């Protein structure tokens, strides 16, 4: 059976728009230039969602479609100069339930550092699996907070895509990137009920990675 890509794209936008409307946002699909009170050089987002002074310009990332991260980062930097406005990149296949997550704030820097502290305490007490999982959620929070801080609008992307974008932009070294991918594989094994014999070794490596990024990205402690 052939699927019309135009119909599929329209359906994705409709479903995504509906998910925001269910959260109380007023949504415009393919908003007109006049709907945005500043110049974006001809750029037109897929959706504009607004509520209580919050204005979200939403770009849908379609599988197989080339994406200029540099271009989006430049746009996001322009958008963030206007109070209450934000540019978001979301996956095309994100269902309505998943899309609701994009309206939630990121974990704050103080909460992230507290998670890291708790993970270190768990590791010191021999609770290796618990320490690993706490380190993993700390890493995800760090990655998303850093992406937001550098105006890279990928903080709502799935973790694998987020890692790829940050590595491609030089925000992660090759070693850090590979370590995070390895940790993600172990995380998937654990949460899906499989044995993960690599947990002790990977936990130590993940602990070092989180410590490195906390030090390297410490400036974000001034972010909300």
Dihedral sign, Cα of residue 97, residue 191, residue 132, residue 153: negative
Share of the chain above pLDDT 90, in %: 50
- Residue-wise pLDDT for 141-189, tens only, equals 999 999 988 888 888 888 988 898 898 788 999 999 999 999 999 999 9
Res 139: pLDDT: 97
β-bridge partners, 88: 58
- Residue-wise pLDDT for 103-140, tens only, equals 678 899 999 999 999 999 999 999 999 999 999 999 99
User: Residue 173 and residue 175: Cα distance in Å, rounded?
Assistant: 5
Confidence of residue 64 (pLDDT cuts 50, 70, 90): low
pTM beyond 0.75: no
Res 206: pLDDT: 97
């Amino acid at each position: 059976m052939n699927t019309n890509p135009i119909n599929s794209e329209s359906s994705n936008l409709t479903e995504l728009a509906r998910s925001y409307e269910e959260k109380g946002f007023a949504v415009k699909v393919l908003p007109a230039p006049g709907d945005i009170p500043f110049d974006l050089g001809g750029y037109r987002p897929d959706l504009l969602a607004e509520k209580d002074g919050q204005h979200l310009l939403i770009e849908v990332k379609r599988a197989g479609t080339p994406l200029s991260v540099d271009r989006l980062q430049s746009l996001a930097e322009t958008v963030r100069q206007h109070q209450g406005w934000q540019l978001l990149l979301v996956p095309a296949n994100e269902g309505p339930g998943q899309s609701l997550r994009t309206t939630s704030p990121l974990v704050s820097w103080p909460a992230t550092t507290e998670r890291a502290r708790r993970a270190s305490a768990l590791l010191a007490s021999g609770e290796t699996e618990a320490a690993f999982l706490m380190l993993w959620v700390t890493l995800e929070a760090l990655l998303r907070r850093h992406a937001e801080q550098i105006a890279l609008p990928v903080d709502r992307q799935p973790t694998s895509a987020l890692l790829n974008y940050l590595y491609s932009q030089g925000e992660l070294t090759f070693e850090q990137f590979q370590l995070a991918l390895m940790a993600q594989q172990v995380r998937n094994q654990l949460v899906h009920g499989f044995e993960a014999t690599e947990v002790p070794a990977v936990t130590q490596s993940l602990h070092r990675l989180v410590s490195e990024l906390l030090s390297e990205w410490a400036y974000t402690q001034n972010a909300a």
